[in-house]
Amino acid sequence: MNAPAEPIVSPSIQRLARLFTVQREAFARERYPRLAVRRDRLARLLALVNESEDAVVAAIDADFGGRSSHETRLGELMVTASGIRDTLRHLSSWMRARSVPTPMSLRPGHGEIVPQPIGVVGIISPWNYPFQLAIVPAVGALAAGNRVLLKPSELTPRTSDLLAELVGTRFAEG
């Protein structure tokens, strides 16, 4: 009998698998990022949004074959920047442990909810609002202390390439 053939894995899948491994290792080294680390990551993301406005507008316009710069600025950039600022404002309170009611049968014990990161979060963003729907979920994941593996839509190649370039200038692979 012949041995089963090895599956053919595309280069893009191999790259994602490598990045996932790198990010899992980075998360293992820093499982519970401090508030200052999370704030720094979000501040870098906010700077990325604010400083790349014209490039994002141009990339989305090219991908859509013509899209209003006003729609892109309002629907993609302003929404994203506003979400990051709001997250920065509330982050410290979201990270705090919260007491929860304890049933009489479990006393004198007590219960609490302690927010903790889960590891590497995968985000697959759609084509219709390619910047906002990639970055906004990443904001929540980074605020929670997770690593992010982002896979933008192949239907918006210019925006996807721009995202890779912009994120690569401010964040390491891990």
Average pLDDT over residues 124-133: 92
Residue 77 predicted with pLDDT over 90? yes
Burial of 58 (0-12, 13-18, 19+ CB in 10 A): middle
Asked if 166 contacts 69 with a C-beta cutoff of 8 angstroms, the reply is no
Q: Tell me the per-residue pLDDT of 3-47, one tens digit each, with 9 for 90 and over.
A: 666 767 678 788 888 888 899 998 999 999 999 999 999 999 999
Instruction: Return d(Cα 29, Cα 8) in angstroms, integer.
Output: 32
- pLDDT value for 166: 93
The mean pLDDT of the chain is 91
- pLDDT value for 91: 96
Select from 30, 40, 29, 33 the least CA-distant residue to 95. 33
Instruction: Return d(Cα 11, Cα 20) in angstroms, integer.
Output: 14
Average pLDDT over residues 63-84: 93
Q: Which phi and psi (to 5°) does residue 147 adopt?
A: -95, 160
Give the CA count within 13 Å in the CB-facing half-sphere of 54.
1
